[in-house]
Structure 1
Amino acid sequence: MKYLNLLFLFLAALVLSALLQWVGMVLPWLFGAMIATVLFYRLVTSHFHYPKWLGNVGLVIIGAEIGSAFTLQTLHDMADDYINIILISLLIIILSLLLARFFMKMTGCTMETAVLSSVPGALSQMIVMAEEEKRADLLLVTLTQMSRIVLVVIFVPLIASFTTDSGAGALNETASPLLSVMTRDMLWIVAAMPVVIFILAKLKFPVPFMMGPMLAVLGWNMVTDYTFSVNTEFMYAAQLFFGIRIGFQVSTLVTQLNSRLIASMIIQNVLVIAGTMGLVMLFLLVTDHNFTDLFLSAAPGGIGQIIIVAVDMGANTAMISSYHIFRIFFILLIVAPFINYFLRRNRRRRQHAEDGT
């Protein structure tokens, strides 16, 4: 019965997404799937199973699209932009951590919970650290991080849609759709994807099902310079798979929240997004990038969600993903170890105080 319910959900998501596309809504296949899932969960039944592999299929498609945007020329352009990449990533993280203090006052949570809830784009890493930290509220950390993803998916495309630049996405607009240029040699990409995914998963790297295909296609572009883009139909499917996953998460999270927590999370995340816009406005004074590309590059969300928005907006996915990939590395290699050290030091201080030493 649960699989029959899932089939009905997919049909509802398809119909609603097609309707939203017809009326001209931003990201119709993502929002259509999200809305259909929430309504189905609340009004029809909550007894359905959404296989994890379906969500991963969406990530694979998104990863391939990101990789297709990376060419020798775009990598050279990004190398020239490394100062902006470092500064924006650093400033967004600092902004988020500064707002952690505000979040702590609004919710009455511990400092550990506020810090782990505030770091952007590192959901899995922060949840693991929250599990290890006794004074951290695991539920609040999880809900805050996930709600940020949802709010970014809702607000960022709406903001970007008002400022879409006709020049955005020019770096990948000439690439032919995959199905029209596919050759037998491209099977090497298909063979490489599961290998890279397996390696990244073993290394516990974030979102391996997206990063693996991205690196496989990127490697193909570097070796052959025979570029392509992912067909629009595949990207619609990716949005659909991803939208149902997010909608299911939203439906289950709502029951665990009270009005104070909902208000606190919305205020904090809106402030992060507003602060990001302010930083982007400042950088526009000293860079040649357009607002859409730079705003999506700086947006405090998961790379998967941001790239879906970027593809739909026709933005420069190579540039945007490079900013977010750098932020992932920066958080994993520098921010997370620093926070872990900070929390351990506080833990030792509390222990010493309790022991009277």
Structure 2
Amino acid sequence: MRKRDIANIIILILISLAVSIMLDWFGMVLPYLFGALITAVLYTKFISNDFKYPTWLQSVGLLIIGLEIGSSFRKDSLSELLDDAFNIVLITIFVVLLSIGLALIFKRLTGSTIETAILSSIPGALSQMLVMAEEDKRADLLLVTITQTSRIILVVVFVPFIASFFTENNSDPSAVMESIAPFTTLGPLSNAILIVVALIITYFLSKINFAAPIIIGPVLASVIWNFTTEIDFTMDMELMYAAQILFGIKIGIQIRSLITELNTKTMMAMLLHNVLLIIGTLIIVVIYMMFTTHNFNNLFLSAAPGGIGQIIIVASEMGSDIAMISTYHLFRIFFIILLVAPMVSWYLKWTRKKAERHN
């Protein structure tokens, strides 16, 4: 890496930290995430975009988030999650069906193929959808990538504000964290063991092309720790803030690059499609609230269409039930990979063969 790149990254992180602290002082929702995101957009536009943000920095942020997700899976909460299995399955099916239905609208708005529309619409398994788009000649890989990435950005922007209206006044994430031993107090040896196990599992998952390995690996490492040692821990708030900054910078750089690649028609189509997906999910949750005792905020964040990393950042900031929310999202990832993706793949192959016969 060039010295100029290192200097740009250090300056960007320091400015992001300063802006985040200022936004936190003003009481903004997710100040460290949005502070980094805003800083990255402005920095790459007005100061310099002649550098590459290292993937490993984003991965460090996701590793921290993954360990926090896994730390919430404890023996005392497992039975509650198992009792909620029916809700988990039903909400997942509703959200996936909604996304597939909106794919038809997206197809008409963009004039894309059905392959592109479906792969652009299904939330929660970005890497899996991109792999399928690469393999399918009728799919527009660029449009699939941009649409899926823009959804992540919209989720980061809209979901926290929607969730903030339903956050209970007594929800204090720092108070919750103080009741359990912080990660750093476990000791250097325990910290090292957890991180090494997380990296080993992540490496294995990446080798078999599993979705979101950098999130799932640390989650599994924390779960193994919880069930073998029975020593509970939670991530230090400072580490979560650092994760938000490292992750927020990456999203900000993505926003800046997406703006230069989109025309107005495509941008409006993606915006409408993703906003409808978020609104549709909100409606599903409002209706579902009539039949469950779940807190609205927990259920909405559990159903929200987006990456698990972004949603858990929001959940931890809102003092929400991370175990419940992460369980819903992890199930959706497995559901999409093991069931939806093969069905979509079969359907796309069938439509392709049908089109070839007609030609």
TM-score range, shorter chain: over 0.9
Deviation at 1:180, TM superposition (A): 3.4
Verify the 8 A CA contact 2:184 2:191 in the aligned structure 1: no
Q: Distance in 1 between matches of 2:171 and 2:292?
A: 15
Partner of 2:62: 59
TM-score (normalised: structure 2): 0.95
Give deviations 1:7-56, integer Å, cap 9, x for gaps. Answer: 22112111111111110101111101010000011111110121110000
Q: Is 2:70 aligned against 1:70?
A: no
Code of the residue aligned with 1:149 in structure 2: it is: I
Q: Distance in 2 between matches of 1:284 and 1:167?
A: 21
Local SS of the residue matching 1:285: helix
Verify the 8 A CA contact 2:5 2:51 in the aligned structure 1: yes
Q: Is 2:132 aligned against 1:129?
A: yes
Partner of 1:180: 185
Verify the 8 A CA contact 1:64 1:230 in the aligned structure 2: yes
Q: Distance in 1 between matches of 2:176 and 2:289?
A: 22
Moved more, 3-12 or 32-41: 3-12
Tell me the C-alpha RMSD between the 2 structures.
Answer: 1.6
Deviation at 1:211, TM superposition (A): 1.3
Partner of 2:15: 12
Code of the residue aligned with 2:80 in structure 1: it is: D
Match of 1:310 among 299, 308, 315: 315
Q: Distance in 1 between matches of 2:8 and 2:43?
A: 9
Code of the residue aligned with 1:326 in structure 2: it is: F
Partner of 2:83: 80
Match of 1:252 among 244, 248, 257: 257
Q: Is 2:52 aligned against 1:49?
A: yes
Partner of 1:33: 36
Code of the residue aligned with 1:40 in structure 2: it is: Y
Give deviations 1:248-291, integer Å, cap 9, x for gaps. Answer: 11111110101111111111111111111111112211112101
Q: Is 2:287 aligned against 1:289?
A: no
Partner of 1:107: 110
Q: Distance in 2 between matches of 1:239 and 1:213?
A: 16
Q: Is 2:227 aligned against 1:222?
A: yes
Match of 2:95 among 86, 89, 92: 92
Code of the residue aligned with 2:163 in structure 1: it is: A
Deviation at 1:347, TM superposition (A): 1.0
Moved over 4 A (4+): 166-173, 183-187
Q: Distance in 2 between matches of 1:91 and 1:269?
A: 16
Identity rate of aligned residues, in percent? Answer: 48
Deviation at 1:165, TM superposition (A): 2.4
Code of the residue aligned with 1:207 in structure 2: it is: A
Verify the 8 A CA contact 1:165 1:290 in the aligned structure 2: no
Verify the 8 A CA contact 1:172 1:229 in the aligned structure 2: no
Q: Distance in 2 between matches of 1:69 and 1:273?
A: 26
Q: Is 2:359 aligned against 1:351?
A: no
Q: Distance in 1 between matches of 2:197 and 2:118?
A: 38
* C-alpha distance 338-77 of structure 1, shift in aligned 2 (>3 A): same
- May I ask how many residue pairs the two structures share in their alignment? 354
Q: Distance in 2 between matches of 1:222 and 1:81?
A: 20
Code of the residue aligned with 2:298 in structure 1: it is: D
Match of 2:268 among 252, 263, 266: 263
Code of the residue aligned with 1:27 in structure 2: it is: L
Match of 1:332 among 337, 340, 343: 337
